[in-house]
């Protein structure tokens, strides 16, 4: 009875403020989304060639609750067992397709500090060597911005809650400096109890007690407003010699550039990702996850303000076996709304 009285008093105090807070949240609602239609063809050694028609649909909802708090969510196509893709293949004889919660988060901002909790957009400055662009980690992230020059990001991410063994989680810190033409970013990622809870190996060699503690150094250069370059070096400091190759296989390197000319955009990337350099389950799925090296070329043409057509070509092979190669071409028609 005492608890009920306290609850009624709290509700009475809150009710006068609820209409204004709720009203502001509704007034500040923001909707957006995107649709991508894709045809993909892959020619891979020792596997039957494969062509797939696919689509990706994402729908965002955001609202600002007050001067400090905002919340949002995103729904997306795809499946519930692949964190690196929201693609949905067109198959299964015209059956209905699923929609999943892709993001759901709350954000608090105060001055140069930002806190984000939930299933969020990737808070790290990164390429897709460590993080596939579709990864939306879960947990909490704290960021401090020092004007326009520097930042520090801390994160505590949940990988897997395990009732029988220790939980798997990620803790990370990243800092960076940004100048007129260059930016420097250094990150430390510690994947704890990852191997026994990994959703899939995807190129990793889970041998001889290897774990995943990564040091990531990323440099970006902006030669002009339309031309930029990047270079990245990743090393897994917790890798041991593998039984398969006798080496640690713990390093990844990548370089790339992007150039925009009027309605055209050109991108190129080369990467060599050794088997135990990154956590393979979260690396770039289009490139082939970990234990992959090769080239990506892409050209995009803007057709309308919110419509674009892109062609991407991947030529990759296993980092530890040059005979196992794959060539992939993707044709994308992209819409934003």
Mean pLDDT in residue range 102-110:
98
Q: Which pair of structure tokens corresponds to residue 309?
A: 């057509």
pLDDT (0 to 100) of residue 322:
73
Three-class SS of residue 30?
strand
pLDDT (0 to 100) of residue 324:
86
- Band of residue 21 on the pLDDT scale cut at 50, 70, 90: low
pLDDT, the chain, mean: 93
Percent of the chain scored above 70 by pLDDT? 93
Mean pLDDT in residue range 181-189:
97
What tens digit of pLDDT does each residue of 255-299 get?
A: 999 999 999 999 999 999 999 999 999 999 999 999 999 999 999
The kind and range of the H/E element at 303 are strand 292-304
- Give all domains of the chain, ordered by start, each with its CATH number: 30-336 (2.40.160.10)
Over 60: is that where the pLDDT of 97 sits?
yes
Residue bearing the bigger pLDDT, 326 or 21: 326
Whole-angstrom distance, CA of residue 290 vs CA of residue 130: 9
pLDDT (0 to 100) of residue 4:
44
Over 90: is that where the pLDDT of 14 sits?
no
Contact 182, 221 (CB under 8 A): yes
pLDDT (0 to 100) of residue 165:
82
- Band of residue 7 on the pLDDT scale cut at 50, 70, 90: very low
Q: Where are the alpha helices (DSSP H) in 157-289?
A: none
pLDDT (0 to 100) of residue 6:
47
Over 70: is that where the pLDDT of 77 sits?
yes
Q: Name the one residue in this structure whose structure tokens are 């990620």.
A: 170
Q: Name the one residue in this structure whose structure tokens are 């879960």.
A: 138
What tens digit of pLDDT does each residue of 138-162 get?
A: 999 999 999 989 999 999 999 999 8
């Amino acid at each position: 009875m005492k608890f009920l009285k306290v609850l009624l008093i709290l509700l009475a105090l809150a009710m006068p403020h609820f209409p204004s807070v709720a009203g502001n949240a509704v007034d500040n609602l923001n909707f957006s989304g995107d649709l991508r239609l894709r045809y993909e063809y892959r020619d891979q050694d020792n596997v039957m060639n494969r062509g797939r028609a696919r689509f990706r649909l994402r729908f965002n909802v955001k609202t600002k609750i007050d001067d400090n708090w905002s919340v949002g969510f995103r729904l997306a196509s795809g499946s519930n067992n692949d964190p690196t893709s929201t693609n949905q293949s067109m198959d299964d004889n015209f059956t209905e397709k699923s929609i999943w919660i892709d993001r759901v988060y709350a954000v608090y901002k105060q001055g140069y500090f930002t806190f984000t909790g939930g299933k969020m957009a990737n808070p790290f400055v990164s390429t897709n060597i460590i993080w596939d662009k579709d990864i939306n980690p879960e947990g909490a992230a704290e960021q401090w911005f020092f004007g326009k020059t520097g930042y520090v990001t801390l994160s505590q991410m949940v990988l897997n809650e395990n009732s029988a063994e220790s939980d798997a989680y990620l803790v990370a810190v990243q800092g960076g400096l940004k100048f007129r033409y260059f930016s420097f970013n250094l990150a430390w990622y510690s994947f704890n109890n990852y191997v026994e809870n990994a959703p899939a190996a995807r190129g990793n060699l889970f041998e001889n007690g290897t774990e995943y503690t990564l040091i990531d150094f990323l440099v970006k250069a902006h030669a002009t407003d339309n031309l930029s370059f990047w270079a990245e070096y990743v090393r897994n400091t917790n890798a041991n010699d593998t039984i398969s190759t006798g080496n640690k296989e713990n390093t990844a390197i990548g370089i790339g550039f992007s150039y925009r000319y009027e309605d055209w955009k050109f991108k190129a990337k080369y990467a060599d990702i050794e088997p135990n350099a990154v956590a393979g389950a979260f690396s770039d799925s289009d490139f082939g996850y970990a234990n992959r090296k090769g080239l990506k070329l892409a050209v995009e043409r803007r057709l309308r303000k919110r419509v674009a057509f892109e062609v991407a070509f991947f030529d990759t092979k296993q980092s530890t076996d040059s005979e196992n190669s794959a060539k992939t071409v993707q044709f994308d028609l992209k819409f934003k709304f």
